[in-house]
Amino acid sequence: MEFAGMAPVILAVLAILWQCVLVGYTFSLAGNAADEAARAATAAAATGDPEGACESAAKKHLPAEWRKKSKVSCAQDGHLWKADVGLTAPVLFPGAGKLPFSISGSAGAAEEG
């Protein structure tokens, strides 16, 4: 009888913990995407299109559900390329909905050459 009464509480705690895992994973994805984007922009600055390389590198390793609404911006600040990536975390599982706030990651890389 006690287990039946506690089951909803246990399920609610598990759902909250799972949501925390998804938010943490989104922070990790945003930081990694920003780092990849900044390095790609730096490498492409001497030979081609740094903004295009930045955006494609940021989205390359993102899972499809995170890639859909990602926002990537790249800018040069002196001899430094800065990339900012904004992602939204899903609610409980990818495809169910998005949290109402954006999680961002930023990185910079010095210009090569």
Cα angle 33, 88, 58 (rounded to 5 degrees) comes to 15
pTM of the model: 0.84
Domain count of the chain? 1
**What's the confidence (pLDDT) of residue 64?**
87
Q: Which residue range(s) make up the domain with 39?
A: 2-110
The residue ranges of DSSP E strands in 1-113, in sequence order, are 71-77, 80-87, 103-110
Q: Which two tokens stand for residue 87?
A: 């992602």
Note down pLDDT in tens along the chain; length 113 residues: 677 888 889 999 999 999 999 999 999 999 999 999 999 999 887 788 888 889 899 999 899 888 888 899 999 888 888 999 999 988 887 777 888 889 999 999 988 76
